[in-house]
Amino acid sequence: MGRKKDGKMSAFRAEKFLVFMLFLFGMVLRAKGVWLEIPKSGIKCLFEDIRKSVVVMADYYVFWDEDYLNTNYTPRVSVKVTSPYGNAVHHQENVTHGQFAFTTSEDGSYMACFSTESSHDGGKAVTVGIEWKTGIAAKDWESVAKKEHVEGLELELRKLEGVVEAIRENLIYLKSREADMREVSERTNARVAWFSIISLGVCVAVSLVQVVHLKHFFEKKKLI
């Protein structure tokens, strides 16, 4: 009876080890994202200011240390991605990996929050890898290559053309943002001038009212 149980446990451990090795292998091959360390029972958030109609694609995965091999505890995170108006775009509880993709419907700051719960005793800081791509970086070149039958060098040049287009669009967007800000600046500048003159006027008016009122008061009291 004990031996059967040992057999099961060692098979479980072997499988865990295999999974861990696959993770390591995957880590080396695909580690093109940003890694964050989330303290136990803490929240870490990443956000980006994105304009509307932009494709956002992200992959996230939790990394395992060798320490986790010895325990039965698998590190998990809860993910919540919110739009600038507070709507949840993606929400997952207690997962080890996942992905989400959406097209932004409004301008603003999109936030992805990762949180851990210290439900187990073995809770420690969890490392999460996030690969977050927006705009041209999120474009699916494989399907473009298949659809238009381009490959190799031509595909690479197409990608470069896409990047150049994205650069030009970004520049136009930056220009329009700068124009908005210039408008706000100039309006504030005009307001400062007006408000200061009005403030002087208010001061003079208030003091005149004071003097007139007191004069009238003293005359009424027959002091003057």
Partner 1 sequence: MERRRDGIQCTKVYGLLVLLLFSFLGNLSVSALSVTVNDVECVYEYVLYEGDTVSGNFVVVDHDIFWSSDHPGIDLTVTAPGGNQVHSVRGTSGDKFDFKAPRSGMYKFCFHNPYSTPETVSFYIHVGHIPTEHDLAKDEHLDPINVKIAELREALESVTAEQKYLKARDARHRHTNESTRKRVIFYTATEYLLLALASSLQVLYIRRLFSKSVAYNRV
Under 8 Å between Cβ of 136 and 167? no
Is there binding between residue 224 and partner 1 (CB under 8 A)? no
* CB nearer to partner 1: pick between 1 and 184: 184
Closer to partner 1 at the Cβ: 45 or 122? 45
Tell me how many residues contact partner 1 (CB under 8 A). Answer: 76
Cβ within 8 Å of residue 134, ≥6 positions away: 48, 50, 54, 55, 56, 57
Strands 55-63 and 97-103 turn out to be antiparallel
Binding letters toward partner 1, positions 134-153, x by CB under 8 A: xx-x---xx----------x
Which residues in 75-114 contact partner 1 (CB under 8 A)? 96-97, 109
- Determine which residue in the list 91, 195, 215, 219 makes contact with partner 1, applying CB under 8 A: 195
Residues 14-43 that bind partner 1 (CB under 8 A): 15, 18-19, 22-23, 25-37
Q: Which residues are CB-neighbours of 151 under 8 A, at least 6 positions away? A: 145
> Shortest Cβ distance from residue 94 to partner 1 (Å)?
13
Distance CA 83, CA 49 (A): 10
- 3-class SS at 192? helix
Given 4, 5, 149, 221, the residue binding partner 1 (CB under 8 A): 221
User: Position of tokens 């990443």?
Assistant: 46
Residue number, 87 or 170, with CB nearest to partner 1:
170
CB of 4 to partner 1, least distance (A): 11
Using the rule CB under 8 A, which residue among 69, 172, 197, 209 binds partner 1?
209
* Angle, helices 153-220/141-148, rounded to nearest 10 degrees: 130
